[in-house]
Amino acid sequence: MSEHHEQTFWTKYIFSTDHKVIAKQFLWLGLFFLAFGGFQALLIRWQLAYPEQPLPWYLLGNLFYEGGLMTPDHYNVLFTMHGTIMIFWAITPMLIGAFGNFIIPLQIGAPDMAFPRLNMISFWTMFLASIVLLASYLLPEGAAAGGWTSYPPLSTPVGGIAGEGQTLWTLALTLAGTSTLMGAINYIITVVRMRAPGMTYFKMPLSVWGLWLTSIMNAIFVPIIAAGLILLLLDRTIGTQFFIAGGLATVEGGDPLLYQHVFWIFGHPEVYILILPAWGIVSELLSVFSRKPAFGAKVTVICMCTIVVLSSIVWGHHMYTTGMSPLLGKAFMFLTLLISIPSSIFFLNWLGTLWRGNLHFDPPMLFAMGVIWVFGLGGLTGLYNATVTSDIYLHDTMFVVGHFHYTMAASVLFGGLAAIYFWFPKMFNKKMNPLLGKIHFWVSFIPLNYVFFNMMVLGYAGQHRRLYNPSEYEFLAPISDLNISITIFAIILGFSQLIFAYNFINSIINGEKAEANPWKANTLEWTLEGPIPHGNFATTPTVYNGPHEYSNPAVKDRDWIAQSEPMPT
């Protein structure tokens, strides 16, 4: 199926329809925004530790603000755009855009995606969305400032933000959603249609399962938020008042709560949209680096599917404080707490995979095990947010911020980093420096836990999540030292990512050539000698074994067997 026509620079690297090239494009885009959004987090932290003091030289304050001083308006832009960028422009392109594209066709033995041209358009739509988003910074009033959730009336021009930054935010998010939907069509149909002979659903690697379920959720929930964003856009542009009510409205009948419902009908599943690929990848990596079959792989898949279903009916837990009827609140609480059952089961499956395994602590494994820890903490602290009584106290505090950074940021990011360290040799045909990788893990893991754990402490002490200046409140005075130490650790965390940046770029340029199967893994992509041509497999592989047949006693002399290799009898 490989194509042999001549390719110019443009068709090979820029407007390529090759899923491997598009994967790299998404990866670069994601890494760029990860750095950008991460840097904004440091600015936020500086303000919380040293309120209204000029930013230091190493945070480049003078570049952005006059005299390095951040105003409340700047601060609003920072936390809004930090959240938006990290979720939709950093994690989404990295996990779903880059690894979805790279892994799915290679692991199921397909020559490419089902719709290669749509795939290319998907990336360039995302690129356009990025330009719209970045352009909003150049507006006189600055970028969006209504929080990443952009609740009306904060996000509506009447009584909220008049600047066009919020309008561009809405437009950029609609475009990014369109890009995601194109990707979702591709991923879903590719898995349904293009699996190699023998690749039954339960022989698909768990990474593919995670990405596939994520795409199904994207296909269901992104269209709903798109409808909501269109209405918000109309409110901002042509004067409709869908989400404006009370004294702000000039016509009767608008409803700001409708936006919250629409947002969270999408927004809660979005958490799982982001985490399912990471879960899949972690489940697979734990098996590879424990040299054992993934414990209860089928049960893990069933749990993931259960979570997909449950996650679509729990959105109300974000709205306990909106005057929701107590009965409805209890129903949402019950459904939300139900999610902990499948989550715990496959959490135990992870531990089961590690149990008595022949553990290899390579960088991908360290990050995968890091996910177990941070996701465990994130999941447990979620219970306090899911329970109505404790959530009413914790709502909109730093506790929530710490919690969702553990689940969404830390777990997904570590999953993504594990994936980068694991698939780098296949993507770039070069080795990464393992020692720097291990250092990178520890200098990320320790400060990260310090930062996010103590954010929850701050929240418990009552610090509001979007507070500009905590020093204005007497009751927050006892935790001002904690605010400072969190910021110091956040800065360490931020700057230690330079080790990764150096390792990543240096390995691409100067790295040693990688062998075809450096991790001795079973899945199909490792049977290919790099660089993999457009069209992937010279002959379509036939699949005989499951993806996690490590240390199978039937195989002599080695502890792995490629999925396309008949099992010796």
Interface residue list for another protein (CB under 8 A) = 114-115, 118, 181, 184-185, 188-189, 192-193, 195, 197-200, 219-220, 222-224, 226-228, 230-231, 234, 238-242, 250-255, 258, 261-262, 542-544
200 binding partner (options Cu ion, another protein, none; Cβ < 5 to 8 Å by kind): another protein
Cross-strand bridge partners of residue 464: 397
Smallest gap from Cβ 379 to another protein, in A, equals 29
Smallest gap from Cβ 242 to another protein, in A, equals 6
* Amino acid symbol at 496: S
219 binding partner (options Cu ion, another protein, none; Cβ < 5 to 8 Å by kind): another protein
Report yes or no: 154 and 147 within 8 Å, Cβ to Cβ.
yes
Nearer to another protein, 54 or 159 (CB): 159
Smallest gap from Cβ 144 to Cu ion, in A, equals 22
Report yes or no: 541 and 86 within 8 Å, Cβ to Cβ.
no
255 binding partner (options Cu ion, another protein, none; Cβ < 5 to 8 Å by kind): another protein
Nearer to another protein, 226 or 456 (CB): 226
**Among candidate residues 12, 64, 15, the one with its CA nearest the CA of residue 42:** 64
Smallest gap from Cβ 256 to another protein, in A, equals 11
Nearer to another protein, 354 or 543 (CB): 543
Residues 31-60 that bind Cu ion (CB under 5 A): none
Smallest gap from Cβ 208 to another protein, in A, equals 14
Reading the block at residue 409, the tokens are 């940021």
Nearer to another protein, 70 or 262 (CB): 262
Smallest gap from Cβ 564 to another protein, in A, equals 11
Nearer to another protein, 152 or 342 (CB): 152
268 binding partner (options Cu ion, another protein, none; Cβ < 5 to 8 Å by kind): Cu ion
195 binding partner (options Cu ion, another protein, none; Cβ < 5 to 8 Å by kind): another protein
**Residue number, nearest CB to Cu ion:** 268
The owner of tokens 């959530």 is 391
Report yes or no: 123 and 25 within 8 Å, Cβ to Cβ.
yes
Smallest gap from Cβ 419 to another protein, in A, equals 26
Smallest gap from Cβ 222 to another protein, in A, equals 8
Nearer to Cu ion, 39 or 151 (CB): 151
Total residue count of the chain as it appears in this document: 569
Smallest gap from Cβ 180 to another protein, in A, equals 10
Reading the block at residue 501, the tokens are 């940046």
50 binding partner (options Cu ion, another protein, none; Cβ < 5 to 8 Å by kind): none
Which letter does DSSP use for residue 315 in this model? G
Report yes or no: 278 and 364 within 8 Å, Cβ to Cβ.
no
Nearer to another protein, 56 or 197 (CB): 197
Contact flag: residue 292 with Cu ion (CB under 5 A): no
Reading the block at residue 259, the tokens are 């936006």
188 binding partner (options Cu ion, another protein, none; Cβ < 5 to 8 Å by kind): another protein
371 binding partner (options Cu ion, another protein, none; Cβ < 5 to 8 Å by kind): none
Nearer to Cu ion, 268 or 534 (CB): 268
Smallest gap from Cβ 252 to another protein, in A, equals 5
Contact flag: residue 268 with Cu ion (CB under 5 A): yes
Residue 8 to residue 390: CA distance in whole angstroms: 60
**Residues 174-177: contacts with CB under 8 Å, at least 24 apart:** 174/226, 174/229, 174/230, 174/233, 175/125, 175/126, 175/128, 175/129, 175/132, 176/88, 176/89, 176/92, 176/125, 176/126, 176/129, 177/222, 177/225, 177/226, 177/229
Q: Stretches 17-25, 81-89, 128-136, 260-268: which one binds Cu ion (CB under 5 A)?
A: 260-268
Nearer to Cu ion, 266 or 468 (CB): 266
Residue 132: which H helix or E strand, with range? helix 116-135
542 binding partner (options another protein, Cu ion, none; Cβ < 5 to 8 Å by kind): another protein
Q: Using omega within 30 degrees of 0 as the cis cutoff, is the peptide bond preceding 277 cis?
A: no
Nearer to another protein, 80 or 174 (CB): 174
**Among candidate residues 459, 481, 479, 471, the one with its CA nearest the CA of residue 52:** 471
Nearer to another protein, 242 or 550 (CB): 242
Kindly report the backbone phi and psi dihedral angles of residue 258, in degrees, each rounded to the nearest multiple of 5, phi listed first: -60, -40
Report yes or no: 68 and 54 within 8 Å, Cβ to Cβ.
yes
**Among candidate residues 96, 409, 73, the one with its CA nearest the CA of residue 280:** 96
Smallest gap from Cβ 386 to another protein, in A, equals 25
CA separation, residue 521 to residues 181, 364, 518, 528 (Å): 31, 13, 8, 12
Residue 209 to residue 109: CA distance in whole angstroms: 14
Report yes or no: 252 and 295 within 8 Å, Cβ to Cβ.
no
**Among candidate residues 205, 209, 206, 134, the one with its CA nearest the CA of residue 169:** 134
Q: Which residues bind Cu ion (CB under 5 A)?
A: 268
